[in-house]
Structure 1
Amino acid sequence: MAAANSRVCFDVNFISFHDDNLPGTAITDPKNPTSFVLTTGGFPQEVILQTRASSAKISKLSVTLNDAKDILVERCCGETPTAFEVIAERTLARGSVVGSNSSTGAEAAAGGVGGPQTETFDLDPEGAGRDIRFIRLTIQSGYCEFVAVYSIDAWGEESQQRIAVLQSKPEIVM
């Protein structure tokens, strides 16, 4: 395994909402923390992330959202993202608007504008955080019709074994 408590690198494996102007890769880009993706409305919405290594021991997972209410975080240790186990289920408080005074912030929240919500999950790297290959975030409900997903970050140890992506170009013989 790599150094303990280093950043675990993810790639987006699946996203249930799509917008060409807001690609799913924005949520795994640590170089651009203000980038985000926006759900298309309706719930539930899902994001499945895959570790770049063959597996990881994750000690901390952090999600930054806007206007999410109920979320579910699951893990999968298999080679394909099919058998998920629940890590955590949370109901989030509505975020407050950053940089505003309290009365304006309260008015904005009442009027349907929330602020960033960061939820951190501490995991036992030898228990629920062990041998993770996929993470699934399910947004079960929101305070609005649309939820912004800013980032999903993890820290822990990645396996030194990387996943090889092979491209096949079979020849057709007639």
Structure 2
Amino acid sequence: MGDNSAARAKAHKTKAAEDAADKKPEPTPTTPPSPPPRGPRHLRAPIEIRVEITARSQSFTTTSRNIALGGISFESQQQFRVGDLVNVLLYIPVKKELELLKVASEVVWVEDLGGSWMCGTAFRKFAPGDERRLREWLLECVRAQRAGVAAAGTPAPGDDDDE
């Protein structure tokens, strides 16, 4: 009978080995997770305001195409490269006056328009209090746009004070 119990023990070990072989390890991803979708990560609004860009000790004035809490896009006659550092001066219209907001920025994308360039910059460092002021103004503009009113501090198309 001793042989029978040895055979049973061997069969048990073989069955345990087969069960372990049948268990497949949980799959691990072989490819890295895909990056998040590209696109705006911040509240962004198609607002055109006067903007002064200073780079390489030269300044020029242009108009924004859109503004977000994280950056701004604008058209430039001057070519920039991704990674270029620029200082941005935003002329924010508030109650029929202009407030100036200063932001150190970095060029994060450039699109060749054939003779000019559309540039996107990411805001890196605001002057004290300017980030809060931009957030408040931008929120007010977005609310006004959703309500169908002109951006805060700017006249609606067709509005004239001369009438």
Task: Between the two structures, name the one with larger relative contact order (CA 8 Å, sep ≥ 6).
Answer: 1
TM-score exceeds 0.5: no
TM-score bin, normalised by smaller chain: 0.3 to 0.5
Q: Normalising to structure 1: TM-score of the pair?
A: 0.33
Instruction: Kindly name which structure, 1 or 2, has the bigger radius of gyration based on alpha carbons.
Output: 2
